[in-house]
Structure 1
Amino acid sequence: MIKLLEKRPDGICLYEMENDQLRVLVTSYGVTLIEIDMKDENQKKTNVILGYETIDDYMAKSGTYFGALVGRVCNRLANGEYTLNGKHYHAAVNNGPNSLHGGLEGFSYKNFDSKIEGDKLIFTYVSKDGEEGYPGTLTLHCTLELVDNTLRISYDAKSDADTLLNLTQHTYFNLNGMEEDAGDHLMKISAIRHGLVDPDGLCMGKFREVEGTPLDFRDFAPVKQGFDQSDWNVKNANGIDHHFVLETGSPALILTDPKSGRTLEVETTLPGVQVYSANYVENHPGRDGKTYNQHWGVAVEPQMLPDSIHNQEHPDVILKKDEPFHEEILYRFYMK
């Protein structure tokens, strides 16, 4: 069941999606997931994502991107500059020397049109030519659907000119219900390589095998393994903030809390996943009177290779004029 809980005077809507296993609160502002409540064996529902108390808190632009849809180009774009079809473009620099998550007014800070269509919740935004330094008028539809224990997120887009597009959902998970940080969560990632980052967090276009590093999550290992700053690339990121190149096989990533047994599986059509261990979250007032600090959540962000316009011979991030774009992210929750 999907219900409109509130429509504010500024047009921002708050929705509730609920079935026997999950309850999701989502707002049209940035298609932001505010809360995901999952049931345990005693039928008690517990929120398992980081979020703020009010929509106004999200609008304050804290830089955490809690639960938000991120674009046009997620992750970091080197120096906020790129060349497309022989023309040089500038995007806003908002993270050290680089452009981050779509710039100053990326999709995370836009109010999407929204509607309930059967058992689906559809959000639409038209990004005008030149917005945040990206060419082409882009029409984006984001569809949310709750099926049993799974939240499916689908992105469909088309541009009237060649442009760049790399979308993700920036949701931080804490499966212990924010009773403590997520360092003791166990994580498994279907990846044998990860991208190397420079001291500003920018993906360098170079990779290394995870074997023998703190970022080896080919089998279940505590998330806090990735906080080991004796490793130079973990030190560069101040923890985990790396792109993992997904191999064949599913799911892409599994996160589980050994104490509660709550487990998340992530599947995606996208070729990689950025994992961020909330390295710079400090003293953030969150929902239900909780205060979030470093490593209080694990952001799981399926996406294309960061800064691929500079790092790939044929960049995945280029969306050709009138070419349909479709990608999906699935979050599946269950008790282990």
Structure 2
Amino acid sequence: MLKRTLFVLLLVSAGIVAHAEVTRASFGNMPDGRAVDVFTLTSRNVEAKVITYGARLIDIRTPDRNGKIADVMLGYDTLPEWLADRGSYNGSIVGRYGNRIANGRFTIDGKEYQVPPNDGPNALHGGRGGFDKKLWTAKQLPDGVELTLVSPDGDMGLPGTLTAQVTYTLKGNALKIDYKATTDKPTVVNLTNHTYFNLTGTDEDVLGHQLIIHGDRYTPTSKTLIPTGKLDSVANTPMDFRTSHTIGERIAAPFEALTMGGGYDHNWVLNGPDGVLKPAADVYEPKSGRTLKVTTTQPGVQFYSGNFLNGMLTGRGGIKYTKHMGFCLETQHFPDSPNEPSFPSTVLRPGQTASSTTIFTFGIKK
């Protein structure tokens, strides 16, 4: 036993990470009887669970500086509870188009398409019947799970039969999400994960979490949270997280971007080229010592401070999910890109593959 422990420690210190253990089990049934499965990915310090409903993360457990294990995302224990949560998108893969499209309308090659509005005048996260509400098919992998969804032509008004593939893998402390999509007609696609994190692992809010975002610019928005098309500097504003600030430090500042959304709900333009893995954000929770590092190939990240959590949802342990109880770091292309030619394009054409990678790495600061 001692020899095995020493061997594992040598592998970790050398940067060689052993495979995660992956198990598959039943998680219940959809109202129409279709089975939902849960995949549990376990490494030395991280356990993550993924279900086929919404291809969503439902549980991420990591230790604090004292070795105490806790769930570091908001969530529920049972499928009926996940099905009842129709509006938070928690843990899910959102699409076809994550984030907002102004008035739900866009044009490709001169033809206009309409996604049904579900966020005031705008379409949010693919509409009311987006990918978060779908049952995905799954294949177990050595280090994780591969989930696939075929979205038919005209789904939520979007053109083309889109085949989306999302793969979760766990190696060491790094939970990696790979996204791929192909289409048979020109369409738009913007896939992301919408997990609400809370590194305290308790019923505290996240305002004391310390955050760095690796972006010099952000996309200012209208009152309906649609980008204006500008890329403004974060300098001398509450949007400047280039050095560490707590989430709550400036959240109530009389700054128009914050007052419109009741807190942070904006896209940051990440430093570095699109398609290249780069730092997106770093989070540190000082009471527990837990850390979260986000890297991505995407050009942007939406930082959302849980402004619309209102206590109507009750999670694990009877915890009421109130305002600022969780935060999201949604790596993405920019909101409303189909209507902003200057933004990185989200148009996908036949013969092309849309692909991206995001990695959530968990750690501890002593």
Same fold at TM > 0.5: yes
The reply on whether 1:311 has 2:340 as its aligned counterpart is yes
Residue type matched to 1:310 in 2? N
Structural mapping, 1:27-66, within 5 Å: 27-66=51-90
Structural mapping, 1:120-135, within 5 Å: 120-135=144-159
Partner of 1:2: 22
Partner of 1:261: 289
In 1, the alpha carbon distance for the partners of 2:46 and 2:170 equals: 8
Which of the residues 222, 225, 229 maps onto 2:249?
225
In 1, the alpha carbon distance for the partners of 2:95 and 2:190 equals: 6
In 2, the alpha carbon distance for the partners of 1:316 and 1:59 equals: 33
Assess, with a 3 A threshold, how the Cα gap between structure 1 residues 226 and 126 changes in structure 2: closer, same or farther: farther
- Name the SS for the 1:236 alignment partner: helix
- Name the SS for the 2:178 alignment partner: strand
Partner of 1:296: 325
Partner of 1:234: 258
In 2, the alpha carbon distance for the partners of 1:115 and 1:43 equals: 32
Structural mapping, 1:187-226, within 5 Å: 187-226=211-250
Contact 1:226-1:234 at 8 Å conserved across structures: no
Deviation, 1:7, is 4.9
Deviation, 1:62, is 3.0
The reply on whether 1:164 has 2:188 as its aligned counterpart is yes
In 2, the alpha carbon distance for the partners of 1:229 and 1:97 equals: 27
In 2, the alpha carbon distance for the partners of 1:165 and 1:2 equals: 29
Deviation, 1:314, is 6.6
> Any idea what the Cα deviations from partners look like across 1:146-180, whole Å, max 9, x if unmatched?
00001000011111111100011001111001331
Contact 2:334-2:343 at 8 Å conserved across structures: no
Assess, with a 3 A threshold, how the Cα gap between structure 1 residues 229 and 48 changes in structure 2: closer, same or farther: same
Residue type matched to 1:289 in 2? G
Contact 2:203-2:325 at 8 Å conserved across structures: no
Deviation, 1:15, is 1.6
RMSD of aligned alpha carbons = 1.4
In 2, the alpha carbon distance for the partners of 1:276 and 1:117 equals: 31
> Any idea what the Cα deviations from partners look like across 1:99-145, whole Å, max 9, x if unmatched?
00000100000000011022231100000011011111011111110
Deviation, 1:251, is 2.1
Structural mapping, 1:113-124, within 5 Å: 113-124=137-148
Structural mapping, 1:91-130, within 5 Å: 91-130=115-154
> Any idea what the Cα deviations from partners look like across 1:62-114, whole Å, max 9, x if unmatched?
31111110100011100011111111111010000000000010000000001
Percent identity (aligned): 37
Residue type matched to 2:107 in 1? T
Deviation, 1:61, is 4.2
Residue type matched to 2:348 in 1? L
Q: Which moved more, 1:309-318 or 1:134-143?
A: 309-318
- Name the SS for the 1:253 alignment partner: strand
Contact 1:166-1:317 at 8 Å conserved across structures: yes
Deviation, 1:216, is 0.8
> Any idea what the Cα deviations from partners look like across 1:184-203, whole Å, max 9, x if unmatched?
10000111111112222222
Q: Which moved more, 1:180-189 or 1:287-296?
A: 287-296
Structural mapping, 1:76-95, within 5 Å: 76-95=100-119
Q: Which moved more, 1:116-125 or 1:157-166?
A: 116-125
Partner of 2:12: none
More strand by proportion, 1 or 2?
1
In 2, the alpha carbon distance for the partners of 1:85 and 1:226 equals: 43
> Any idea what the Cα deviations from partners look like across 1:214-246, whole Å, max 9, x if unmatched?
111000001013412400111111100000000
The reply on whether 1:324 has 2:348 as its aligned counterpart is no
Q: Which moved more, 1:162-171 or 1:204-213?
A: 204-213
Residue type matched to 1:306 in 2? P
Assess, with a 3 A threshold, how the Cα gap between structure 1 residues 154 and 276 changes in structure 2: closer, same or farther: same
- Structure 1 unpaired stretches of 5+: none
Contact 1:150-1:332 at 8 Å conserved across structures: yes
